[in-house]
Amino acid sequence: MNQSTRSRASSAIVMIRPVLILFMMFAHIIALDSWSVMSGGTALNFDDWMAVFLESALAKSGVPLLSLISGYLAVRSLETYGYPQLLWRKAKRLIWPLFWSNLLFILLFTYPTQAVDAGHRPDLSIYPFDAYGWFQAIFVFYKMPANEPLYFLKDLYTCFILLPLLLLAAKIRYFNLLVLAWMAWKCFVQDGVFLVAVFPFWFLRFDIVFAFYVGILQTVNQRKLLIANHRLAVALVALLPVVWAVASAVYVVYPREDYLLLFQGMDFTVKVMSVVSCVALMSLLSGSDGWLARGLTWLSPYSYTLFLTHLFFFTAVHRWFVTTFGWPDFFAWSGTLYVVLGFLAAVSGAVVLRTVWVRWIRRAPARA
């Protein structure tokens, strides 16, 4: 890969990251409840379809490509830093934020809420104080954490632990395809166990390690991360909303328990198409200097802070909104306002928090 192509790929990765984070955030809109819609099977209607479209189709499209990009970049990082140093760097980047963000979320929201409502997050034993329950809620120990989106950090760090093994498999001709097929099957049936069901090798989402491995294969085989054909890229980007729409209709009409194989097939299709279409979007953005490209480039440095903190702002906005206006009606004006306010608060909060951190807190020791 020449320097020009590598530079375009780096620029595209910078621009696509906030898009993927914004996609992911739709899964954490507190008042939306697409799972109850999917479990029952109802006649197709706009409100249920839109709830499922946002929370269970569009929202699934962020994690796979984020994981693939991490795998794509991991090989070069391993060559640069070596395995022990890479794990230490990733621990600071992934595990330390996992710790403080979950701990802070417990102190601000989970613990005081469970003190007055024992039915809140019944999967976590936070109140009264339970050391093992807190450990589970902070370090994603076989359960979703207090700050739910952060399961991704634990699963991604496990991918870095497995990096030498995955890289070795990727370099063995034909065997690498067998591993790819095995991972695809486990992703399809949604089995989270990587060889043995021992923490941390139990993934909350196996598509994370699957996409991470695909990213490694891209680097090992010196494949470009961009699509050169402009028309093909436009067509693939246009196809993704169609896949989301069809999958959402299936999720609404058919009860999940009775049509599990169909649901697994649609889930897998959405995730694969999201990777392909978002790579196509990256390719279009990489050669652009328009307002969208400039806006995404500006937002990109705040995207990791947005990922870490958006549930804090979603929770705060949810409690204020329900107290002030009552439960939002999706998708009347109150439901739309609820979503817009949540996203505005999360994005604004992330910008402010990172700006304060970079300009004042992190530089304080140097000024002293």
Q: Is residue 284 part of a domain?
A: no
Domain-located, residue 155: yes
70 CB-contact burial (10 Å; exposed 0-12 / middle 13-18 / buried 19+): buried
pLDDT exceeds cutoff 60 at 53: yes
What is the extent of the structural domain holding 199? 63-225
Which runs of E-coded beta strand occur in the chain? none
85 within some domain: yes
Residue 345 resides in a domain: no
Answer for the pair 209, 158: CB distance below 8 angstroms, yes or no: yes
Output the DSSP codes for 38-83: HHH-----HHHHHHHIIIIIGGGGSHHHHHHHHHHHHHHHHHHH-H
Residue 17 is assigned to a structural domain of this protein = no
Note the pLDDT tens digit of each residue in 251-284. Answer: 999 988 889 999 999 999 999 999 999 999 999 9
pTM (predicted TM-score): 0.94
Residue 341 lies in a domain: no
118-148 tens-digit pLDDT:
999 999 999 999 999 999 999 999 999 999 9
Cα–Cα distance, 258 to 248 (Å, whole number): 16
Q: For residue 240, is it within any domain?
A: no
Convert the pLDDT of each residue in 202-240 to its tens digit: 998 999 999 999 999 999 998 888 898 999 999 999 999
Of the pLDDT bands very low, low, confident and very high (cuts 50, 70, 90), residue 286 is confident
Tell me the mean pLDDT in the region 344-350. Answer: 98
Q: How many domains does the chain have?
A: 1
In a domain, 193, yes or no: yes
Q: Per residue in 357-366, pLDDT tens?
A: 888 776 654 4
